[in-house]
Amino acid sequence: MAGARREDGDTLFHAALINSLRSFGVPATGIDGIEPFSYHVGVHLLAARIAVLANAEAIPALIAVRCILATPLLVFSLAAGGTVWARRRG
């Protein structure tokens, strides 16, 4: 996919994590083998599960998770936080 379009390193890094979680069950980039490392992989794990269920590639699954789940959750969180903050201020 990287050869067909311009991709940045972050996108390919996240795709590598998703594919590693999907194939091996551990977060790894696969550069030096499957060496697990500490990283916040909740979204990656969700994207890996969606990719398996939809029989999709890693990058479209990550885009779907971000657009369908993460963005509305962020908007809701900001709105709810603003409401709570406004009520506490009086």
Give the residue with greater pLDDT, 56 vs 5: 56
pLDDT value of residue 49: 93
pTM of the model: 0.72
2 confidence band (pLDDT: 50, 70, 90)? low
Residue range 35-58: mean pLDDT, rounded: 90
What number of H helices and E strands is found in the chain? 4, 0
Buried b (16+ CB within 10 A) or exposed e, 11-22: beebbbbbbbbb
Q: Is the pLDDT of residue 5 over 90?
A: no
